[in-house]
Amino acid sequence: MTSTVAMNPVDCRQLGVRYGRMVALEEVTFTVAPGQVYALLGRNGSGKTSLVRCLLGHQKPCSGHIELFEQDVWASRRSLMHRVGVVSEEPDAPPTMTTRQVLQFCAGLYPSWDAVGVEARLHRFRVPQELPFGKLSRGQKAQVSLALALGPRPSLLVLDDPTLGLDAVARREVYDELLGELAERGTTVFITTHDLAGIEGLADRVGILHQGRLLVDASLEDLKARYRKISWAPAQALRLEDLAPYGPLGFRVGSLGGEAVLQGDPAPLLAARPEVQVQDLSLEELFVTLVGADTEVAS
Amino acid sequence: MSVLAVTRREWIGRRNVLLLSLGMGLLQFIGLHLNPDPAQAFDKTSFLAVATGTMYAWAVAALYGATMLSRDLEERRFGFLLNQPLHEAQIFLGKVLAGVGLAFLSGLLACLPPLLLSGFWRQLGMREVGSIMGVWLAGSLVLLLLFHALSIQVRSRSLWLALDLAAWALFFLGVRLLSLRLMAVDGFREMAHLWLGLLIAVSLGLAVAGYLQVSEGRADLQRGHRWVSLTMASTLVLVLLGGWAQVVWTLKHRPAAVQTQARTHGIR
């Protein structure tokens, strides 16, 4: 009997990275399933860059390991890169080469290079191909990087903060291109970003990295079901102790009333205090609640 | 083909060096044309042109070596190559090939115009021309590898630099002592052989260290430095031990040859 279970594009186990005495990553474990869009979130310095460097085989972890398509990425980086498209945080194509020269360089390295698709994308983005890469605008560099990453028709796309420094229009174009790719080919995507609003409609699963540890690793649906925001008017004086059974996070009371984020189902509280308002959390609110004030959260 | 793709990428990024070299050669050419000196045109012009070309080629090789990878690493551009399906050996070889080729062509462009004016090519045989080119290529390769290793050691700003300094200091001290022992018996020929052997062995060590820096360090400058340091320290110590063994063997088992040479020098 043949197995029908597809291999996970990313399998990260007990990953640890240290720089001298400083711990950058500690026991980070997660998997990304085929076709999934996994968004890794975290504040600056949370360890995202170290994780991406390990994920791409640029850096050897101090402990644990990462496999892409069931192959150790450090040992098999070269063969794996045939199946992986990468957009780096800082556009890193040679600045003196024109976009056309960069395209020619990459096209020669991949047997499955989609020359027509890349041309079409660059045409859609209106990127001048005869200008040196270094002279393109930030948005154009990101667009070229995305076109290059999609060129080899990758099975896995690794995007390291691809919208960093982009204006709203350029951001939208990047996400639209990604949505098109997902709809057409169902490519697995691993993305790190600070653009929480932009990624919310795209991500299936979210990981939140905080001080080198993976604080949260759950589907976006589960997260939204697990955490609810409640608010109340000043007259309804809810105390922190009233919310204790719900594991309150980010409890705040002011002259206009109070609000808190609760873990678990708030139905019993609502039955007892029907005047309390319940709202879904946006990804950004959730992120700020979980990592904004060094909150301890049981994942 | 992937190696050549890397080489081409490097050349496109540094093509201005070739233009600069050509400009330098043309300047020399114009200078000679405006102030001809028929009395010593061939010898002096040829010597100056070849010397300038050699120095220029080696300077380009050293500069290229110093920026070949460490600048990419510092500016976080090395990831572009690592994100492609390229083996570390292809990346390293492609870059080295680009550097040696660039240095060689730069030297050639810098000295060719004045040499053409002096008629150098007509008066020298292919053997002499081949020797000059061989020296250029070998010198460029050694300087490129040396400056690559040094730039990694300096730019990583890690404490491993202490090991590097200690290893190089020990090596030069050892070479000096071995040379003095041979000089004491007028073994100048043996000393030249010793130096050549040491140079070749250290160059091989530099090549291995450079490759390991890419394959084991990759985008991690400090880790790459560790590999360079360990490889170079071991190489220098081993090479020194080899040199010491050679000197001991020369002095103990070939006294006649050395003594004959010593007598010859004494008569003079």
Sheet holding A63-68: strands in order across? Answer: A22-32, A10-19, A63-68, A71-72
- Cα B88 to Cα B96: distance, rounded to the nearest angstrom: 12
The residues near B138 (Cβ < 8 Å, ≥ 6 apart) are none
Whether A149 contacts B79, CB under 8 Å: no
Chain B residue with minimum CA distance to A103:
B9
Q: What is the least distance, in Å, from the CA of B83 to any CA of chain A?
A: 6
**Which residues pair with residue B113 across a beta bridge?**
none
- Cα A107 to Cα A91: distance, rounded to the nearest angstrom: 18
- Cα B54 to Cα A269: distance, rounded to the nearest angstrom: 85
Tell me whether strands A84-87 and A37-42 are parallel, antiparallel or unpaired.
unpaired
Residue found by looking up tokens 């060094």 in the block: A294
CA distances from A87 to A90, A99, A143, A149, B189 (A): 8, 15, 9, 6, 58
Per-residue pLDDT of chain A in tens (299 residues, 90 and over written 9): 444 567 899 999 999 999 888 999 999 999 999 999 999 999 999 999 999 999 999 999 999 999 999 999 999 999 999 999 999 998 889 999 999 999 999 999 999 999 999 999 999 999 999 999 999 999 999 999 999 999 999 999 999 999 988 888 888 888 988 888 888 888 999 999 999 999 998 999 999 999 999 999 999 999 888 888 888 888 777 888 888 888 888 788 888 888 888 887 888 888 888 888 888 888 998 898 888 754 444 33
Predicted confidence at residue A270, as pLDDT, reads: 85
Q: What is the least distance, in Å, from the CA of B111 to any CA of chain A?
A: 27
Q: What is the least distance, in Å, from the CA of A274 to any CA of chain B?
A: 55
CA distances from A113 to A103, A117, B195 (A): 10, 9, 51
B157 at A interface, C-beta within 8 A: no
Given A78, A90, A109, which is nearest B5 (Cβ)?
A: A109
Complex-level ipTM: 0.88
Closest alpha carbon to A153 in A105, A87, A84, A219: A84
CA B184: distance to chain centroid? 30
- Cα A124 to Cα A181: distance, rounded to the nearest angstrom: 14
Strand ranges in A148-292 using DSSP code E only, listed in sequence order: 156-160, 188-192, 205-210, 213-219, 227-232, 249-254, 257-263, 277-279
Q: Positive or negative CA dihedral for A278, A280, A282, A286?
A: positive
Whether A52 contacts A12, CB under 8 Å: no
CB-count burial class (<10 Å; 0-12, 13-18, 19+) for B1: exposed
DSSP state of A282: P
Residue type, B254: R
Segments in chain B below pLDDT 50 = 267-268
B127 at A interface, C-beta within 8 A: no
Q: Do B8 and A105 touch (CB under 8 A)?
A: yes
Mutate which: B6, B71, B83, B225, vs A, most A CBs within 10 A: B83
Given B1, B77, B223, which is nearest A60 (Cβ)?
A: B223
Whether B219 contacts B75, CB under 8 Å: no
Predicted confidence at residue B181, as pLDDT, reads: 93
Calculate the CA dihedral of residues B251, B255, B261, B265 and round it to 10 degrees. 80
Residue A13: its H or E element: strand A10-19
Chain A / chain B CB contacts < 8 angstroms: 70
Per DSSP, the residues of A117-169 read HHHHHHHHHT--TTSBGGGS-HHHHHHHHHHHHHTT--SEEEEESTTTT--HH
Task: Collect all residues of chain A within an 8 Å Cβ-Cβ radius of residue B77.
Answer: 92, 94
CB-count burial class (<10 Å; 0-12, 13-18, 19+) for A240: exposed
- Cα A231 to Cα A250: distance, rounded to the nearest angstrom: 12
Predicted confidence at residue B176, as pLDDT, reads: 96
- Cα B213 to Cα B91: distance, rounded to the nearest angstrom: 11
Chain B residue with minimum CA distance to A106:
B84
Given A59, A82, A94, which is nearest B219 (Cβ)?
A: A59
B208 at A interface, C-beta within 8 A: no
Residue A69: its H or E element: none
Q: Do A94 and B77 touch (CB under 8 A)?
A: yes
B9 at A interface, C-beta within 8 A: yes
Q: Do B5 and A108 touch (CB under 8 A)?
A: yes
Task: Collect all residues of chain B within an 8 Å Cβ-Cβ radius of residue A58.
Answer: 79, 82, 218-220
- Cα A36 to Cα A18: distance, rounded to the nearest angstrom: 29
Helix (H, G, I), strand (E, B) or coil at A259: strand
Would you list which residues of chain A are within 8 Å, Cβ to Cβ, of chain B?
A: 53, 56-60, 77-79, 81-82, 84, 86, 88, 90, 92-97, 101, 105-106, 108-110
- For B:62-121, CB contacts with A below 8 A are 76-80, 82-88
Q: What is the least distance, in Å, from the CA of B235 to any CA of chain A?
A: 25
Q: Do A105 and B5 touch (CB under 8 A)?
A: yes
Predicted confidence at residue B37, as pLDDT, reads: 62
Tell me whether strands A71-72 and A37-42 are parallel, antiparallel or unpaired.
unpaired
Closest alpha carbon to A54 in A174, A178, A209: A209
Task: Collect all residues of chain A within an 8 Å Cβ-Cβ radius of residue B216.
Answer: 60
B33 at A interface, C-beta within 8 A: no
Given B12, B82, B88, which is nearest A56 (Cβ)?
A: B82
Chain B residue with minimum CA distance to A93:
B80
Task: Collect all residues of chain A within an 8 Å Cβ-Cβ radius of residue B8.
Answer: 105
Closest alpha carbon to A159 in A128, A197, A203, A118: A203
Given B85, B219, B223, which is nearest A109 (Cβ)?
A: B85
Whether B182 contacts B235, CB under 8 Å: no
Q: What is the least distance, in Å, from the CA of A229 to any CA of chain B?
A: 41
Predicted confidence at residue A8, as pLDDT, reads: 94
